Amino acid sequence: MIQNGIVNNRYKTFYPGKTVVSFCFGTQKLYDFVDMNSYVEFYLSTYVNKPANIVKNDNMVAINNALEVDLSGQVVSDSIGNHFYSGIGGQVGFVTGASKSKNGKPIIALPSRAKNGEVSRIVATLQGKSVRERVLELIRVAHPQFRDDLLAQIRKKIFGSRLPNKHSNRYS
């Protein structure tokens, strides 16, 4: 798209005219294109993915891929079940930066099906720990001074009496 003039970066307010990247992976044609190209600048991913830098581009549109979304709106972009698929990337930084950019918009793209149409990518619950299990695990790693209070708060607000009581060893 850059070679065909479709993408030219002329409207960017941060690094105008430049394509800013942290890595590239592809064909020899791609490597030849970026090699010594003054319009392509490489920076560390911690810099490129930083919301404070992303927000500097007005009208920033960040399009990120999702592998799975549950009915509560949780998005999974790096793993399928307990197995990493793509690793941890810059999705959070780009969603945050684009949402705070002047006239920006974050977009999560999600095909509705996978495995030749046999599997829905929109699921009732994510694979792995349930919300209840995640709550308990987070309370377990909280400072001991706050565990009882956290457990009492979550029991009162969300779960009723379904969580173990404060004398349980589940979170200690």
Q: Please tell me whether residues 102 and 139 are part of one structural domain.
A: no
91 in the same domain as 151: no
Place of tokens 């006239």: 103
The pLDDT tens digits along the chain (172 residues) read 999 999 999 999 999 999 999 999 999 999 999 999 999 999 999 999 999 999 999 999 999 999 999 898 888 888 777 677 776 678 989 999 999 999 999 999 999 999 999 999 999 988 777 777 878 888 999 999 999 999 999 888 765 555 455 555 444 4
Query: Same structural domain for residues 58 and 95?
Result: yes
CATH (domain of 112): 3.40.1080.20
The number of folded domains in the chain is: 3
Calculate ∠ Cα 97-90-135, nearest 5°.
95
Question: Are 58 and 3 within one domain?
Answer: no
Question: Residue 26 sits in which domain range?
Answer: 1-48
- Is the domain of 75 the same as that of 110? yes
pTM, two decimals, is 0.69
CA-to-CA distance for 131 and 139, rounded, in angstroms?
12
